[in-house]
Amino acid sequence: MAITEHARDAVALKAKRSKQTRKRFFGREAVAGYLFISPWIIGFLLFYLYPLLNTIYNSFTRYKLFGKPQWIGFQNYEQLLFHDPVFAATCWHMLLYVTASTVIYIVGGLALALLLSRAFPGNHFFRTVLYLPSLMVGVAIGSMFVQVFNAGEYGLFNTILGLFGIAPVNWLNNYNNPEIGLVALIFVNFWFVGGTMLIFIAGLKGISQTYYEAARIDGAGAWHRFRYITLPLLTPVILFNTIMTLIGHIQVFDTALIFAGGGSGSVGVSGLGSVLGYHNSLSTFLTYLYQQAFVSRNYGYGSALAVVIFLITLVLTIVVLLIFRRSGNTDRW
């Protein structure tokens, strides 16, 4: 008894003391807090806010490698949005690429997560195999897939098509149908569904088993359990994955760049043509930005392009948020 009382006193004393300390240090606490987050604030101002404002300003100017920016009003935007066939093609590529990739990521990731959310021997092995490639995204995996999609009969992908009696396809240097490179670029996404899968598995674990038991007692079949329990309760995770996938794919760069070069190692050598692929068939937002700003050194025009990409991303994110909000269940957000 006495011990408990003593302990209680001690706790009370401690609480009181800590409250006093907190009050006494409130001013100091604020200063200390700001000191600790100051690295990020400085980074934000230097590497985010200033470049953002500067990019917006530059987008209204003519600004080349040498010389100062000259104000030209909306000319860059007018050129970009209404008279630039490369940009129009890029938008079309991105629409296809981002939509297809998002579907692959979400449907593929969710399907695999459903398979792997149960416990069975070997589960961990499969999870590892499926997840590992998503850590490898980048030029290296692109350099592998350029060879996998090689035009000749010796290319791995064509060999597999050959098993089904399909003639070899020239994937990355097809001058008759340059768009086919985009199909290859989309296809690569199947290798990266492991990342979304892992997040879906964690989300599925968060759903209480009691719902499923109750549904089973009520005689609900597997589809109904998925449709009326899993899907609604997983909405926040699906939302998270969708937004992350969208943003990630709008930023596609390295794979597109190395695919555009066709593995010739000529990215820096011949400039424009190989950065965007034959007839610009593999242009993405970022490869086009790279080409305009850092190959052709059109800083003003590149800035307008940057602002447009920025706005598109922003609008897309908001639209996805709104769609999910309308379909309900975003409490956890």
Does position 226 interact with other proteins (CB under 8 A)? The reply is no
Taking CB under 8 A as the criterion, the residue among 106, 161, 183, 199 binding other proteins is 199
**Closer to other proteins at the Cβ: 127 or 211?**
127
Residues 38-67 that bind other proteins (CB under 8 A): 39-44, 46-48, 50-52, 54-55, 58
Of the candidate residues 90, 170, 242, 303, the single one contacting other proteins (CB under 8 A): 303
Distance of CA 17 to the CA centre of its chain: 48
- Residues 272-301 within binding reach of other proteins (CB under 8 A): 285-286, 289-290, 293-294, 299
Q: Please, what's the b/e burial string for 80-112 (b: 16 or more CB within 10 A of its CB; e: otherwise)?
A: beeebebbebbbebbeebbebbbebbbebbbeb
> Should residue 191 be labelled a site residue for other proteins when binding is judged by CB under 8 A?
yes
- Residues 271-275: contacts with CB under 8 Å, at least 24 apart: 271/295, 272/296
Among 10, 12, 32, 231, contact with other proteins (rule: CB under 8 A): 32
What is the rounded CA–CA span in Å between residue 10 and residue 21?
16
The Cα–Cα gap between 159 and 204 comes to: 38
Q: Which is nearer to other proteins, 27 or 328 (CB)?
A: 27
Taking the complex as a whole, the smallest distance from the CB of residue 193 to other proteins amounts, in Å, to 9
- Indicate whether 174 belongs to the interface with other proteins (CB under 8 A): no
User: Among 72, 96, 115, 169, which residue sits at the site for other proteins (rule: CB under 8 A)?
Assistant: 115
Judged by CB under 8 A, does residue 103 bind other proteins? no
Q: Which of 250, 284, 288, 291 binds other proteins (CB under 8 A)?
A: 250
Among 75, 173, 174, 266, binds other proteins (CB under 8 A): 266
Distance CA 173, CA 310 (A): 31
The one-character DSSP state at 48 is: I
Taking CB under 8 A as the rule, does residue 126 contact other proteins? yes
Nearer to other proteins, 177 or 270 (CB): 270
Binders of other proteins among residues 72 to 101 (CB under 8 A) are none
Q: Binding residues for other proteins, how many (CB under 8 A)?
A: 102
Task: Using CB under 8 A, pick the residue from 2, 3, 167, 269 that binds other proteins.
Answer: 269
Establish if 259 lies at the interface with other proteins (CB under 8 A).
no
Mapped onto helix, strand or coil, the DSSP state of residue 262 is: coil
Going by the DSSP 8-state scheme, the letter that residue 279 receives in this structure is G
Sign of the CA dihedral with 244 first, then 250, 253, and 255 last: positive
End-to-end CA distance of the chain: 46
Q: How far is residue 300's CA from residue 256's CA, in Å, rounded to a whole number? A: 24
Q: Binding of other proteins at residue 71 (CB under 8 A)? A: no
Considering only 153, 166, 227, 228, the residue that binds other proteins (CB under 8 A) is 153
Q: How far apart are CA 282 and CA 297, in angstroms?
A: 20
71 beta partners: 61
User: Phi-psi bin for 221: left (phi > 0), alpha (psi -120 to 50), beta?
Assistant: beta
Beta carbon nearer to other proteins, 1 or 223 = 223
CB-nearer residue toward other proteins: 41 or 88: 41
